[in-house]
């Protein structure tokens, strides 16, 4: 389909330029312009007919899979042509189309994709055949640019090693600093409105080196509209020559390269210092991911520097977004805030998170952990994941040729009534409070909550993300009453690759307990 469109456009441009040359100069260049024009005018409708009617009905290898009934050439089975997926379209396909775990549907211009909708197929794709499915080419390219490494560079053995090493690498230093930041602001003006995204970012990325923060900001920008359209177009055309041309133009693209190089060099220096300290048998000031990985001799220092940049880029915005959504849910419910504050005080006693490290006691505060789990379920940072079949493979006994696009939607699965019951749409932390339900939240499958994905390529930072979130939330709720500004609109999430609030989440914080 793509090749045809490319060849068709090429023929058109050749014909038009030749005709233009002939009209301007009067020279008779070729005699076959008219037949070519006729051929082009006839071939596109035929091509459209083939891809919109004949292929989906008779020629696709997936013709036995359920597909939504209504589609148009322009929008496919979506309701609009947008570079971002409207979540509602995906949710309605998942919920209303009878299927056994695999459906097919059509994106704009009749691009065929498959979507996995049930735990049995998810298990097959994400766990049993995890290495048959990889990341899209554009994501690989982007991650390579940011980190100097392939996105899925970690081996299964490496993943397990990382998981083992990440959890003890956690400290609560950032949460303490965040509380200090907010208090400093409140001292200036008690009525000030606080942008929680900004505080989450500052707390999670706090580093004494300002240049580090500045350079990080340049690469951690959310994808803009141009990027999103490029992503959509990249499904139909090979954009690599265009990207290469852009990368030669000085400006934004070079900035990204320079910033990621700066971060890698920075990481190398930090790793070198930590390594020297460890060799001198001095105990490190902070037990962070890098130190713990070095202590375990898990990775060569240069590889570790690439990993460090990867952690920063993928881990920071996601945790900061989860923190914002938690403040949004709590901000709407003063009663829930009070119950949580009582639970936190019971766990921590008179000690304050802002001054004392209380890692394990925070993680043993049941209502706090339940609230964090509720938020992670209701607001998956990446609502829709795209995988590409790296080899010829199969799902549910259906042949999946190499290159097939297979999606799964954490947003749809996390809210699926089949897995979560009739109140699946509600934010209800008490799901995790019932006896024996602290991990599952009463869901009927291990593949019901996919905010961190699952299987060998699932989020390696899940434990640290949950711990960071719990500390940030505990630090704020222990000290402040949260009052939402514009509660009526603030909960709207914007369609896009990441689940963020359209307007950002702004609050007023009232001090209920000083440090």
CA distances for 260 relative to 209, 252, 311, angstroms: 16, 12, 13
Q: Does 173 bind ligand HEM (CB under 6 A)?
A: no
Residue 201 lies near ligand HEM (rule: CB under 6 A): no
Contact status: 152 vs ligand HEM (CB under 6 A): yes
Q: Min. distance of Cβ 111 from ligand HEM in angstroms?
A: 21
Residue 375: count other Cβ atoms within 10 Å of its Cβ: 24
Give 195's strand partners. Answer: 506
Query: Which tokens in the block code for residue 55?
Result: 């292929």
Q: Applying CB under 6 A, which of residues 292, 314, 362, 470 lies at the interface with ligand HEM?
A: 314
> Please, what is the minimum distance in Å from the beta carbon of residue 302 to ligand HEM?
17
CA–CA dist 56, 106 (Å, integer) = 9
**Among candidate residues 235, 275, 217, the one with its CA nearest the CA of residue 2:** 235
**Which of 215, 365, 382, 386 forms a contact with ligand HEM (CB under 6 A)?**
382
* Ramachandran quadrant class, 76 (left: phi over 0; alpha: psi -120 to 50; beta: rest): left
* Nearest to ligand HEM of 315, 331 (CB atom): 315
Contacts of residue 11, Cβ cutoff 8 Å, sequence gap at least 6: 36, 40
- Pick 1 or 388: Cβ nearer ligand HEM: 388
- Tell whether residue 464 is a contact of ligand HEM (CB under 6 A): yes
Q: How far is the CB of 12 from ligand HEM (least distance, A)?
A: 39
Question: Binding of ligand HEM at residue 393 (CB under 6 A)?
Answer: no
Q: Of the candidates 62, 89, 54, 68, which has an alpha carbon nearest to the alpha carbon of residue 396?
A: 62
**Residue closer to ligand HEM (CB basis): 60 or 127:** 127
Q: Which stretch binds ligand HEM (CB under 6 A): 30-38, 344-352, 418-426, 448-456?
A: 448-456
Task: Kindly list the distances between the CA atom of residue 204 and the CA atoms of 69, 163, 172, in Å, as whole numbers in the listed order.
Answer: 46, 20, 10
| Cα 315 to Cα 468: distance, rounded to the nearest angstrom | 11
- CA–CA dist 189, 7 (Å, integer): 63
Q: From CA 191, how far away is CA 507, in angstroms rounded?
A: 10
Angle at 364 between CA 360 and CA 368, to 5 degrees: 115
386 binds ligand HEM (CB under 6 A): no
366 versus 458: smaller Cβ distance to ligand HEM: 458
Residue 158 or 284: the one with the smaller Cβ distance to ligand HEM is: 158
Choices 60-68, 105-113, 173-181, 318-326; region in contact with ligand HEM by CB under 6 A: 318-326
Q: Which of 451, 470, 473, 505 is close enough to bind ligand HEM by CB under 6 A?
A: 451
Q: How far is the CB of 52 from ligand HEM (least distance, A)?
A: 32
Angle CA 231–460–476, to nearest 5: 95
Q: How many residues bind ligand HEM (CB under 6 A)?
A: 23
Closest CA to 471 of 376, 374, 365: 365
- Of 170, 299, 381, 420, the one binding ligand HEM (CB under 6 A) is 381
CB contact set of 361 (below 8 Å; sequence gap of 6+)? 347, 348
State the Cα angle at 36 between 33 and 46, rounded to 5°: 155
In whole angstroms, what separates CA 356 from the centre of its chain?
Answer: 32
Residue 105 or 408: the one with the smaller Cβ distance to ligand HEM is 408
94, 453, 478, 501: which one contacts ligand HEM (CB under 6 A)?
A: 453
State yes or no: residue 460 binds ligand HEM (CB under 6 A).
yes
Q: Compare residues 468 and 481 and give the one whose CB is closer to ligand HEM.
A: 468
Among 325, 427, 452, 480, binds ligand HEM (CB under 6 A): 452
Contact with ligand HEM (CB under 6 A) among 172, 319, 337, 365: 319
Q: Which of 450, 443, 413, 418 is nearest to 428 (CA)?
A: 443
Q: What tokens were used for 447? A: 């593949």
Kindly indicate which of the ranges 84-92, 170-178, 346-354, 449-457 contains the residues binding ligand HEM, using the contact rule CB under 6 A: 449-457
Residue 14 marked as a ligand binder = no
Q: Is 216 near ligand HEM (CB under 6 A)?
A: no
Question: Considering the complex, what minimum distance in angstroms separates the CB of residue 377 from ligand HEM?
Answer: 10
Three-state SS string over 393-458 comes to EEECCEEECCCCEEEEEHHHHHCCHHHHCCCCCCCCHHHHCCCCCCCCCCCCCCCCCCCCCCCCCC
Element (H, E) at 180: helix 173-188
- 94 vs 382 by CB, closer to ligand HEM: 382
For 506, the enclosing helix (H) or strand (E) is strand 506-511
Name which of residues 235 to 294 contact ligand HEM (CB under 6 A).
none
Q: Is 305 in the site for ligand HEM (CB under 6 A)?
A: no
Q: Applying CB under 6 A, which part among 147-155, 237-245, 262-270, 507-515 lies near ligand HEM?
A: 147-155
Binding mask of the shown chain, residues 473 to 502, with x at each position contacting ligand HEM by CB under 6 A: ------------------------------
Residues counted in the chain: 515
Binding positions for ligand HEM, rule: CB under 6 A? 151-152, 154, 310-311, 314-315, 318-319, 322, 381-382, 385, 451-453, 457-461, 464-465
Specify binding-site residues for heme: 459
Specify binding-site residues: 459
């Amino acid at each position: 389909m793509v090749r045809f469109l490319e060849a068709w456009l090429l023929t058109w441009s050749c014909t038009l330029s030749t005709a233009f040359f002939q009209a301007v100069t009067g020279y008779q260049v070729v005699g076959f312009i008219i037949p070519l024009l006729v051929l082009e005018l006839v071939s596109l409708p035929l091509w459209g007919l083939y891809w919109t009617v004949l292929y989906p009905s008779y020629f696709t290898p997936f013709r036995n899979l359920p597909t939504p009934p209504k589609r148009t050439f322009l929008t496919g089975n979506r309701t609009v042509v947008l570079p971002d997926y409207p979540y509602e379209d995906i949710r309605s396909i998942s919920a209303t189309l009878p299927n056994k775990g695999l459906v097919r549907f059509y994106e704009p211009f009749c691009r065929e994709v498959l979507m996995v909708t049930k735990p049995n197929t998810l298990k097959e794709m994400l766990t049993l055949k995890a290495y048959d499915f990889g990341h899209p080419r554009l994501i690989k390219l982007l991650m390579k640019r940011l980190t100097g490494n392939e996105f899925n560079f970690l081996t299964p053995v490496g993943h397990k090693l990382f998981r083992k090493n990440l959890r003890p690498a956690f400290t609560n230093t950032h949460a303490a600093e965040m509380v200090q930041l907010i208090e400093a602001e409140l001292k200036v003006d008690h009525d000030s409105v606080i942008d929680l995204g900004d505080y989450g970012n500052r707390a999670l990325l706090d580093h004494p080196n300002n240049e580090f923060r500045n350079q990080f900001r340049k690469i951690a920008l959310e994808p803009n509209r141009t990027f999103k359209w490029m992503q959509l177009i990249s499904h139909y055309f090979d954009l690599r020559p265009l990207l290469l041309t852009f990368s030669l133009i000085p400006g934004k693209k070079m900035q990204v390269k320079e910033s990621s190089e700066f971060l890698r060099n920075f990481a190398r220096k930090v790793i070198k210092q930590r390594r020297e300290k460890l060799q001198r048998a001095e105990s490190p000031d902070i037990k962070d991911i890098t130190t713990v990985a070095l202590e375990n001799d898990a990775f060569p220092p240069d590889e570790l520097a690439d990993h460090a940049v990867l952690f920063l880029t993928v881990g920071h915005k996601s945790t900061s977004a989860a923190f914002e959504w938690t403040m949004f849910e709590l901000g709407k419910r003063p009663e829930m805030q009070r119950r949580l504050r009582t639970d936190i005080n019971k766990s921590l006693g008179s000690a304050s998170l802002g001054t004392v490290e209380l890692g394990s006691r925070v993680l043993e505060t049941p209502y706090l952990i339940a609230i964090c789990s509720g938020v992670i379920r209701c607001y998956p940072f990446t609502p829709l994941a795209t995988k590409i079949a790296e080899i010829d493979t199969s799902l549910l006994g259906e042949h999946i040729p190499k290159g097939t696009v297979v999606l799964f939607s954490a947003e749809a699965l996390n809210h699926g009534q089949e897995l979560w019951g009739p109140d699946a749409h509600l934010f209800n932390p008490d799901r995790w409070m019932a006896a024996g339900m602290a991990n599952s939240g009463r869901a009927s499958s291990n593949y019901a909550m996919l905010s961190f994905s699952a299987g060998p390529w699932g989020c390696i930072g899940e434990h640290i993300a949950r711990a960071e979130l719990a500390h940030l939330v505990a630090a704020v709720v222990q000290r402040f009453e949260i009052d939402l500004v514009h509660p009526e609109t603030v909960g709207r999430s914007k369609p896009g690759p990441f689940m963020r609030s359209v307007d950002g989440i702004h609050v007023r914080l009232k001090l209920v307990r000083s440090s």
